[in-house]
Amino acid sequence: MSELKANESSIPVYILSGFLGSGKTTLLVQLIEHWQQQGLRPAVVMNELGEVNLDGQIVDASVPMTEMLGGCICCTVRGDLGLQLADLVQEESPDVIIIEATGAANPMEILDAVTETSLYMRLELKSLITVVDAAHLSGLYQEQKGQTFKLMQEQIRCASVLLLNKTDRVNEQQLADLQDLLARWNGFAPVLPTVKCEVDMDVLLHSGDNVHAYQSVDGTSKHAEQEHHVHSEACAELGCSHDHGHVHHEQVGHDHEEHQHSQGNVHDHPHPHDHNDSHNHAHPHASHEHVMVYTHYFTEPVNSEAFERLIAELPRDVYRAKGILSFSDTSSRFWFQYAYRESDYMKITPQGDVPNVAVFIGEHFDQSIIRNQLLELEAANQAE
């Protein structure tokens, strides 16, 4: 019998955290496959900053999923998280639930929301897994400034397991330095180096359990003595109550045999939202307030090569982009994603009626420039 099914009294919940483009959705897909192979029924809560659930398009259509779009779970939609979890449990009877939070979210807010929900539902928060982009963290640590750097620190400090991903993009010395850094920021979370989030799932899913048991059972150990202050101070900064138990894509092939487009108008909205709710948060609510989102719905197909050039030349302030597109010079639809100067494209057959759309996420970038560039691409295709 599966270990998860053996505990019929509660449903395990895993939170996936990590900055934009770190590999969370890649890990999500692998976790789903792992549980399905065990005969389990996973369900997903998918959070996106944009208006369209793009990441959800690469998840198995048979997996029950609830979407929370247009903001962070920790913000205006946080109050709905309990309702979403309740609906999943009552309507789908899952064996395990995974919450993938937008990369701009502070995981402590989500953790608080889940633990509140567990007060009146049979949910057990098992692990908060933070996926870290090795190359991106290495670059940010050199600068040691900006809201992005602070947010990444928060995500690392509150994890029960750290997946140090994309280690093939740093050298051995950088990797060793990053592992030392993660140990300083979070001395209790095991660090699992990976490429494309490929990891032994049993090790990943049990690492958080072992850490917290180790904390409580062997609190006098040398490791605990040395690192306890790190975890305590970090959690105190972020409003973490030590009562959080254990807690928890983006590499696609670039195949341009075929590429084509359509649909509706343009939306742009800075992030955050005005939220006058009275959540009694123990720490400032500014984890993602530097983040802006621009969503573009295409009315015309665009040339694939021209679009790729535009993406390759995005300003530094745009650190993430993704979308589902059809192109004028190909017959297939494509999922595209961009993170930290690198982009990938993958053929996709969208689930349901999905518009041709691109979402751009970054810090204080000029949305009008990107909008005008995209409109020019659409106009150029009309003129052909």
Q: CB neighbours (10 Å) of residue 368?
A: 10
Report yes or no: 25 and 100 within 8 Å, Cβ to Cβ: yes
Structure confidence by residue, pLDDT tens digits, 314-331: 998 887 788 889 899 988
Structure tokens at 237: 């900064």
Angle at 79 between CA 16 and CA 294, to 5 degrees: 65
Q: Which fold does the domain 3-238 belong to in CATH?
A: Rossmann fold (3.40.50)
Q: How far is CA 123 from the centre of its chain?
A: 21
Q: How far is CA 328 from the centre of its chain?
A: 31
Structure confidence by residue, pLDDT tens digits, 56-94: 455 667 888 887 655 444 444 455 787 888 888 999 999
- What pLDDT does 289 receive? 46
CATH of the domain spanning 266-383: 3.30.1220.10
- What pLDDT does 131 receive? 95
- What pLDDT does 171 receive? 96
Say what the pTM is. 0.59
Structure tokens at 2: 């599966």
Closest by alpha carbon to 71, among 98, 106, 23? 106
Residues 6+ apart with CB under 8 A from 309: none
Residue range(s) occupied by CATH 3.40.50.300 in the chain? 3-238
Residues 6+ apart with CB under 8 A from 361: 20, 49, 50, 103, 104, 291, 292, 293, 318, 319, 320, 321
Structure confidence by residue, pLDDT tens digits, 22-52: 888 899 999 999 999 999 999 999 876 544 4
Which of 88-97, 210-219, 335-344, 351-360 shows the lowest mean pLDDT across its residues? 210-219
Instruction: Quote the CA–CA distance of 341 and 312 in Å, as a whole number.
Output: 7
Burial group, residue 37, by CB count within 10 angstroms (0-12, 13-18, 19+): exposed
Report yes or no: 125 and 161 within 8 Å, Cβ to Cβ: no
Residue range(s) occupied by CATH 3.30.1220.10 in the chain? 266-383
